[in-house]
């Protein structure tokens, strides 16, 4: 009998099932990195102002983005300030609110305003006045948390 020159064919190898398992794990990882989307990305990027409050608006109906130069986007579409009220009313009549947003407002007229931190206050005030004129009952201003 020669020791060490022949292997026992009945002896199981421990790594046969490990390579396919590693392949499956990497495929799943790649799939979820490519296909997974945690939240809807913004069409227009803005740097929101800083806040010390952690309050998150629980209800949201329409998203309004105001860029630093004053350009307004209602649900991703560019709108002029003078046309904001009519565009807002049209959106509310069309029922463009996201399903399951759970608004307690009977008319569902809640707006999430994402304004750039460099936007002049007078321009933001004009936008908010147009929303009031359009019939928006509530608006929430998106901010970033300031960790003191």
Check whether 91 has a pLDDT greater than 70: yes
Check whether 96 has a pLDDT greater than 70: no
101 — pLDDT class (breaks 50, 70, 90): very low
Q: What average pLDDT does this structure show over 18-36?
A: 87
* Neighbour tally for 109: CB within 10 Å: 20
pTM above 0.85, yes or no: no
User: Which residue is it, tokens 């990882």?
Assistant: 29
Q: What is the mean pLDDT of the chain?
A: 76
72 — pLDDT class (breaks 50, 70, 90): very high
Check whether 99 has a pLDDT greater than 50: no
pLDDT value of position 20: 86
pLDDT value of position 7: 60
Neighbouring-strand partners of residue 111: 62, 139
Quick one: which H or E segment has residue 65? strand 62-66
């Amino acid at each position: 009998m020669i020791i060490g020159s022949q292997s026992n064919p009945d002896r199981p190898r421990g790594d046969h099932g490990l390579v396919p398992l590693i392949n499956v794990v990497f495929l799943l990882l790649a799939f979820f990195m490519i296909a997974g989307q945690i939240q809807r990305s913004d069409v227009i990027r803005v740097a929101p102002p800083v806040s010390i409050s952690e309050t998150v608006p629980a209800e949201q109906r329409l998203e309004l983005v105001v860029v630093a130069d004053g350009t307004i986007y209602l649900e991703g579409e560019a709108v002029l300030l003078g046309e904001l009220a009519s565009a807002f009313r049209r959106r509310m009549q069309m029922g463009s609110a996201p399903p399951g947003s759970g608004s307690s407002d009977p008319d569902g007229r809640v707006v999430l305003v994402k304004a750039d931190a460099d936007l002049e206050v007078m321009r933001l005030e004009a936008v908010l006045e147009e929303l009031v004129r359009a019939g928006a009952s509530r608006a929430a201003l998106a901010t970033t948390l300031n960790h003191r």
